[in-house]
Structure 1
Amino acid sequence: MSYQYPPPNQPPYGAPTGPPHGYQQPPYPQQQYGAPQGAPPQGQYGAPQGAPPQGQYPPQQGYGHPPPQQGAYYGAPSPQPQAGYHAPPQPQGGYHAPSPQPPYGAPPNQAPYGQPPQGYGAPPNQPPPAVPAMAHRTAHPPMGQPQGGMAPYMGAPSVPSLGYVPGQTAPGDFRPQADALRKAMKGFGTDEKALIQTLAPLDPLQMAAVRATYSSHIGRDLYKDVKSECGGYLRDGLLAVIDGPLMHDTACAREAIEGIGTKEWLMNDVLLGRSNADLNAIKTAYERTYRRPLTKDVEGDLSFKTASLFAAALRAQRHDESIPPNPHAMENEARTLHEATSARMVNNVTEVCAIFARSSDNEIRAIDQAFHARYHASLEKHIEKEFAGHMEDALLHMYRTAKDPAMRDAILLEDCMSGMGTKDERLVVRVVRVHWNRNHKEQVKRAYHRKFGKHLIERVRGETSGDYQRLMVALLE
């Protein structure tokens, strides 16, 4: 007869008992969370007795974008989907990219993963989002001005993505996983395969629960144990998974700035194209961890031009996705972008940065349509023509996040593997970030196959080896 764990006489397993790695202050209050889609039946590995039936758990959310509009607690039912988070179901059989550029004012026929509901510059065949009554009486904000006071236009505040609320964990008994992890590292040698097999399938809140349970049940720090038992890129990948989305982004932001030189690619990946809620969560975690404001560190590490873009983005004052773009305002924004670049000897970088930093993804798509209709060129090609270096990469990252985040990530992953040698550090960071959302991950794999004619997993398998290879493949499966 197998051993049955006694019922705990303490708070439910998964409740954090100490601060997460890097924090020097008491942890945030714990929040409740429902059971995942496809959770194992009662009595199976990792599932609590009396677990809620399948289907009562909010679906996997898009990593790096706000979830559906909710009440005070994450997981509350939502009458209105938050744009940029819940993509409409995708047909099976391959990646479905946006159609060629439609006529002016007409939305694309097929939405890539993560695009919002019907509106100017958004995919059709869905009802338009509800607009707050005051928004109808509020003009589009003047170009180039901060949006901090534009509450009626801004719409309802976005909610943090899955894994961006500190202290939030999945429910259930995760002692079996904690035991398996300890067994893999206890005694002589380390069972790297067991570590990968246990950690790779976890979603952000399950990972947080396993880490907390390891601390309370085993009495040890999982992060420190893995760090001491593993090495190389395997260790980097496992530690990134253990940290979870918020703390890994926080650590990456610090790493991008720290030391000689700036890791511009890492700064772009972590800080650009993010929702207001996720950016605010990263800023708060950064200051709690490193006792210094992220905005000051970023400003002191970049040139004037790119510093202005990141300063505007870090204000976290993007227009809300639930507000449909104003066609007249989008035409003005497109005209302003052209006048700030092609119509000048020297680009007005401040004006361009302000537009990109304040615009929602829905608005960026609408501006692109208006720009194409007026100037017969895509905004992407215009950026490539008018800018260079880090500024070009940063603006393209924001543009591609709005247009098709799955294709954006497919291109970023290929960038890690193309050319002479593999950029392993980038590959680890980007694979871990993609793996947090299974729906988005599948979209990325289809986008990669469509763009490059290869299967992403096989491409990664050919660029890596050993336990490092096993981890990268397991995270992408």
Structure 2
Amino acid sequence: MSYPGYPPYGQAPPPQQGGYYQQPPPPQHGQYSYQQPPPPGQYPPPQQGGYGAPSPQPGYGAPPPGQYPPPQQGGYGAPPPGQYPPPQHGGYGAPPPPPQPYGQQPYGAPQQGYGQPPPQHGYGQQPPPQHYAPSYPPTPPSLGYGPPQIIAYNGDSDAHGLRQAMKGFGTDERALIRILANKDPLQINTIRDAYTRVHKRDLIKDVKSEVSGWFETGLVAIIRGPLLHDVHLLYDAMSGPGTKEKVLNDVLLGRSNADINAIKNEYSRVFRRRLEDDVRGDLSMKTERHFMIVLGATRAEDSVPVVKTEIDRDVNDLYNATEAKLGTDEMKVCSILSTRNDNQIRAIAYEYQQKYARSLEDVIRKEFSGHMEDALLFQLRNGLDKYMHHASLLEAAMAGAGTKDHLLVNRIVRYHWDRNHMANVRGAYEKRYRTNLASRIKGETSGDYERLLVACIGEVI
């Protein structure tokens, strides 16, 4: 779904030769890095060419040093740089040409004179080739969101260890943490299936009967795996009075089309309900329409390049929808930020700042309020710097009076599924807040709950 009359990417004039916008932005040289906690008062030095280090001279439209961070390499769900083949014409993912009856021209094509014979092709000659908009490889689903896979891992031993930790009098909570906190989504699925097959018992039910509180919440989130836990979070966020808008933002915004489609399918399978219908019933007015765009899964794939003419068009449309008029065209802004990939959002924000001397974030803060403001800022910040954005979400769950445990535990479990991503989030957190993330968590939590979260971010317990 896109804003009416707003052409999708790939249908604008071809990009000019040369320049930054001709192809996907160059890979960033280094990312946030995290090593073992340094001595007090010291911070790990960045890797050679790491975050904040001078990068090669950028092409047209690239932010100057000190401005928006350069495009991130290998972000959440993004394939490694250099893996995309050049755009294919009519390749995988390209829409097939509309079927036409033999000898009939498509609607709107030049018509031949009455009674005039159709054009003939000489013997052995091929009709002129048709031209289609270029297609780009789809962003692959995140680990745990794709089809089932068979992996070279046997979960029987870990399933036995989990049963032993809960069998008899008392529970070995540390054993539960050691076994579960360092597994990837595919390994967790294997362990859960092995537990059922070997012990004829349900692992989630056994864990719930042995532990409680936020420690239970964290363990159950891990055992379910990322996809199943996402759909349970969405269902719980929309059940009962009120809506947990921050949970909807965490689960749905900034996701790839593949992940969104997987979430919708799993939600329907588990609850026998359409996710779109439940979201419509819980949200209202333009915020509802905003999330319908998101659930439409029409976001530009990560392989779609940044094209200067399209960025300029988006910048002008954002200005005309906000600062240039009395009132705000909310759906225009929602459509742009919901259907552009991270590289495009980064370029849009930079060009907006250059052209109008105001940050796009300030414009959103001024023109919007409530849940829509929060959702748009989430999408913008996620596009600008995913790692720093996730670091700030962790701090937001711990800042102020009291810890927002439901946000903290679910965010840490979500980020921990990708170890490289979690390491970058830790590095971003320490760069911004000048403190060790593990120490910050320990100051807000305690007991087995604390040990579980610290193990999920990569610490040895």
* Matched ranges for 1:58-207 at <5 A: 89-90=30-31, 93-94=45-46, 96-97=51-52, 105-106=61-62, 110-112=70-72, 114=74, 130-133=86-89, 152=133, 155-207=136-188
* Matched ranges for 1:74-473 at <5 A: 89-90=30-31, 93-94=45-46, 96-97=51-52, 105-106=61-62, 110-112=70-72, 114=74, 130-133=86-89, 152=133, 155-473=136-454
Partner letter of residue 130 of structure 1? P
Cα distance change, pair 380–169 in 1 and its aligned pair in 2 (3 A): farther
SS of the residue 1:300 aligns to: helix
Q: Residues of 2 paired with 1:207 and 1:425: CA distance? A: 22
CA contact (8 A) 1:129 1:322 kept: no
CA contact (8 A) 1:334 1:370 kept: yes
CA contact (8 A) 2:230 2:251 kept: yes
Q: Residues of 1 paired with 2:169 and 2:381: CA distance? A: 48
Q: Deviations over 1:76-125 (max 9, x none)?
A: xxxxxxx89x976547534715989x896125674435459xxxxxxxx9
Q: Greater shift after overlay, 164-173 or 372-381?
A: 164-173
Q: Residues of 2 paired with 1:297 and 1:262: CA distance? A: 11
Q: Residues of 1 paired with 2:236 and 2:449: CA distance? A: 21
Q: Deviations over 1:53-76 (max 9, x none)?
A: xxxxxxxxxxxxxxxxxxxxxxxx
Shift of 1:449: 0.6
- In the other structure, the counterpart of 2:20 is none
Larger Rg, first or second structure (1 or 2): 2
CA contact (8 A) 1:449 1:456 kept: yes
Q: Residues of 2 paired with 1:313 and 1:88: CA distance? A: 31
CA contact (8 A) 1:97 1:111 kept: no
CA contact (8 A) 2:254 2:382 kept: yes
Shift of 1:321: 1.8
Q: Residues of 2 paired with 1:428 and 1:315: CA distance? A: 28
Q: Residues of 2 paired with 1:208 and 1:127: CA distance? A: 28
- In the other structure, the counterpart of 1:66 is none
Shift of 1:371: 1.1
Q: Residues of 2 paired with 1:384 and 1:188: CA distance? A: 55
Partner letter of residue 436 of structure 1? W
Partner letter of residue 177 of structure 1? D
Cα distance change, pair 97–231 in 1 and its aligned pair in 2 (3 A): farther
Shift of 1:389: 1.5
Shift of 1:198: 0.7
Cα distance change, pair 133–107 in 1 and its aligned pair in 2 (3 A): farther
- In the other structure, the counterpart of 1:43 is none
Size of the aligned set, in residue pairs, is 373
SS of the residue 2:140 aligns to: coil
Q: Deviations over 1:214-234 (max 9, x none)?
A: 111122111111111110000
Shift of 1:243: 0.4
Q: Residues of 2 paired with 1:245 and 1:335: CA distance? A: 38
Cα distance change, pair 287–377 in 1 and its aligned pair in 2 (3 A): same
Q: Residues of 2 paired with 1:241 and 1:443: CA distance? A: 20
Shift of 1:296: 1.1
CA contact (8 A) 1:321 1:360 kept: yes
CA contact (8 A) 1:410 1:445 kept: yes
Q: Residues of 2 paired with 1:103 and 1:339: CA distance? A: 27
What TM-score comes out, normalization by structure 2 length? 0.75
Q: Greater shift after overlay, 299-308 or 103-112?
A: 103-112
Q: Residues of 2 paired with 1:259 and 1:189: CA distance? A: 35
Q: Residues of 1 paired with 2:256 and 2:197: CA distance? A: 33
CA contact (8 A) 1:98 1:112 kept: no
Q: Residues of 2 paired with 1:241 and 1:113: CA distance? A: 26
Question: What 5-or-longer segments of structure 2 have no aligned partner?
Answer: 1-23, 34-44, 95-131
Q: Residues of 2 paired with 1:335 and 1:98: CA distance? A: 32
